[in-house]
Structure formats: C-alpha cells, structure tokens
C-alpha cells in the first residue's frame, strides 16, 4: 500500500473523493430538513426531486463522448467543480422548482465524478489491489463525511441553510480547481474505447448494477425522509447519526476490500443482499427511534459491499472496455433510479411501508442472481 500512495493517480483520486463526498454528505445531511422546514415538501414532491437527482446518473453514458474532448482526469476535476457550484447555489433557491434545478446541477457533478473515479481506479490498479483502493476510498469518504457532519453540527445553530450550502460549495469548487491543474495520468495505461460498449457477456454485471440502483434509491429517497417525517429527527439528530455511521465505516471499509480479495465477490454480495432483505422489512415495521437508527447504520455498512460488483467486472471485462463500461454501468444503475423515487413517493402516500417492502423483494431477487457468479474465490481455490 505504501508504494501505491506514491502513485499520482492515487493521490489525485483521494483528494477529489474528499470533495465529492463532502459535497454529497453535506447535501444529504441538510436536504431533508431544508426541504421539510423551508420548502415544505410532501412525499410525492420529495420523490420527484429524488428522481430528478438521478437523471445525471442515467445520462452518465454521455461521459464517453465527453472523453473525445477532454481527458478522463480533467473530466473528474470539471465534475467536482460543477458539484461545488450546485451546492453553493442551493440555499439561494428555497422553492420546489429551485430545489429541482440546483439538485440537478449538484447531481451532475457528483455522478460524472463517480463514473470517472471508478473507471480510473480499475484502469490504474489491478484486480489484486483495486478492492483495497476502493475500500480505502470508501474509508476516506467516511472520514470526509465525519468532517462535514461535525461542521454542520457545530455551525447549524448559528448559520442559516444558505450560508452552510455556500461555504460547502466554495470549498468543493476550490478543490475542483486544484484538480484541474494536476496531471496524474500515465502513458502505459490501456487506451479506452471512446464509444458506447454493450456486450452480452457482461449481462450479470448490468443486472446486478441495475438492481443495486433500484434498492439504493429506495433507501436514499425514503429512509432519511422516514426519520424526519415519522420519527421527527432534527437536523442535529440526522447529522449525529451520519457522524456515527461514517465513523464505523471509516474503520470497516478497508476490511470490506480485504474480504473481497479473500472470499470473492459472490460471498460478499450474497451477505449484502441477504441482510438487506431484513433491513428493509424492519424499516417498514419498526416504531422505535433507536432501532431505525441502527437500521440506518447497517444499511450504510452493507451498501459498501457493492464495490464487489465493480471488481467482478474487472475480472471478466476487457481492459479497453473499462471506461465505457463504467459509464454504461452508471446508466444502467440509474434506469430504475429515475422512476422509483417518484413511484415510491406515490406509494408512500398510500402507505409508507410499501417502498420498504419493495426493497426487500428486490434484495431477494439480487440474492438469487448473484449465485450465478462462477468465479472461484481464493478460499475455494
């Protein structure tokens, strides 16, 4: 790991990942309280905004065409800058329409960075080290989330939402500007296809990615909303919960990378999907504020297991397919994400339990599908 830390791409991705997750965590921590308290959104409106938030993810495939104009690491830096601008503007438009537009801008920056981040990691680090890199990046993301959580927890009592969003946005924009001035690329990396790539042999990767996106959107759109709407969590409660969650994940994420190397993708993903079935059902049934907090933390822990989907692709994919396939994967991941929050918002209005029961069913389907991974784990071999 020491030699990896000297790699310019490793350092580049580390710094930009801090910016990406400070932005995403800052937005998520403030969003539900901002939307309920100032904009006064209801469940159907919340679902619609969450669907709009996923449109850039659905359009991540367009990143392939942007690579005809700029290099992949430059696109990473541009994306972080767009994320910062979206955050900085959010507090200035406390309306339903304003929130939709700033969310769309913020989300474009985050999703395009994540597309290039995954692609660059798989290109620059082999299948023996990439799980560790992904685990380290998740750990760093958790540390970044703790930092922004403490910032919000300490200053939310004295600063308005507008000021909080503006400070966070300017910080991210500055890091994006730094990234634009860097050149961490190497000449020995396999050139990537700059066109859309779809291959039948990748079908399981596409399917697992699609299902992961569908399940994740139920959590993103409705778990925090459940905490605020049903259990009356304050912004300080939500922030403290995020800090505890990320403190756990800071130490646990590197272990997940090691588990993928030791036990293989099928075992790790099976553990995620099996656990998620019970977590979603418990969300629907619990009336305990303590239990729903524990579920929230467990949900985040098992979400990190999803890096095994990417390392699975690295083992079966052609080297020149990595960039377009990561873009394709993000698009597939967000097909369901575009309509599930809006549809889930309508189901919420009937009974808030329905979206969570749906998540349990999706987890069961994923558990059955992942058994088709035929790669032998190091333990089996």
Residues listed for the chain: 381
The pLDDT-based confidence of 379 (bands split at 50, 70, 90) is low
Cα–Cα distance for residue pair 244/140, rounded to 1 Å: 15
pLDDT in tens, 89-148: 998 988 889 999 999 999 999 989 988 888 888 888 777 777 788 788 888 888 888 888
pLDDT of residue 194: 61
The pLDDT-based confidence of 196 (bands split at 50, 70, 90) is low
Cα–Cα distance for residue pair 100/37, rounded to 1 Å: 16
Q: Sign of torsion, CA 35 53 134 211?
A: positive
Q: What is the pTM of this model?
A: 0.76
Q: Which domains does the chain have, with CATH numbers?
A: 4-181+196-370 (1.20.1250.20)
Cα–Cα distance for residue pair 335/105, rounded to 1 Å: 19
The interaxial angle of helices 265-285 and 203-229, nearest 10 deg, is 30
Quote the mean pLDDT of the chain. 83
In the chain, which ranges are continuous DSSP H helix? 8-33, 43-53, 55-58, 63-66, 72-90, 96-124, 130-155, 161-180, 203-229, 235-263, 265-285, 289-303, 307-316, 322-333, 335-350, 353-370
- Name the more confident of 351 and 186: 351
Structure tokens at 18: 């801090």
Structure tokens at 12: 């580049």
pLDDT in tens, 36-77: 788 777 767 777 787 788 788 777 777 777 877 888 889 999
Residue 2 scores a pLDDT above 60: no
* Environment class of 180 (CB within 10 Å of its CB; exposed 0-12, middle 13-18, buried 19+): middle
Cα–Cα distance for residue pair 381/378, rounded to 1 Å: 5
């Amino acid at each position: 790991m020491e030699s990896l830390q000297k790699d310019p791409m490793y350092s580049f991705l580390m710094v930009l990942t801090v910016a990406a997750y400070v932005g995403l965590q800052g937005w998520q921590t403030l969003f539900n309280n901002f939307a309920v308290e100032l904009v006064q959104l209801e469940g159907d409106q919340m679902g619609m905004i969450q669907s709009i938030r996923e449109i850039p993810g659905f359009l991540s495939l367009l990143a392939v065409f942007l690579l005809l104009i700029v290099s992949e690491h430059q696109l990473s830096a541009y994306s972080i800058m767009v994320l910062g601008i979206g955050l900085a503007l959010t507090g200035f438009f406390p309306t339903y329409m304003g929130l939709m537009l700033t969310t769309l801008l913020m989300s474009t920056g985050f999703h395009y960075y994540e597309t290039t981040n995954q692609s660059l990691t798989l290109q620059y680090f082999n299948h023996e080290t990439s799980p560790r890199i992904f685990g380290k990046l998740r750990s760093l993301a958790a540390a970044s989330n703790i930092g922004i959580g403490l910032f919000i927890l300490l200053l939310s009592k004295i600063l308005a939402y507008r000021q909080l969003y503006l400070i966070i946005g300017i910080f991210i924009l500055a890091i994006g500007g730094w990234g634009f001035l860097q050149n961490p690329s190497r000449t020995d990396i396999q050139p990537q296809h700059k066109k859309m790539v779809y291959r039948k042999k990748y079908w399981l990767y596409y399917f697992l990615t699609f299902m992961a996106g569908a399940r994740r959107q139920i959590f993103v759109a409705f778990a925090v909303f459940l905490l605020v709407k049903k259990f009356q969590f304050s912004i300080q409660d939500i922030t403290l919960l995020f800090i505890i969650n990320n403190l756990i994940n800071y130490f646990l994420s590197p272990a997940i990378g090691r588990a993928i190397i030791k036990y293989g993708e099928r075992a790790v993903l099976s553990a995620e999907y099996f656990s998620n079935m019970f977590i979603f059902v418990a969300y629907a049934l619990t009336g305990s504020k303590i239990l729903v907090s524990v579920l929230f933390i467990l949900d985040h822990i098992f979400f990190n297991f999803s890096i095994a989907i990417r390392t699975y692709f690295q083992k079966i994919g052609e080297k020149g397919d990595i960039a377009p396939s990561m873009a394709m994967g993000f698009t597939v991941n967000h097909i369901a994400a575009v309509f599930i929050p809006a549809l889930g918002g309508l189901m919420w209005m009937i009974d808030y339990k329905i979206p969570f029961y749906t998540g349990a069913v999706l987890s069961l389907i994923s558990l059955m599908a992942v058994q088709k991974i035929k790669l032998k784990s190091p333990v089996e071999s």
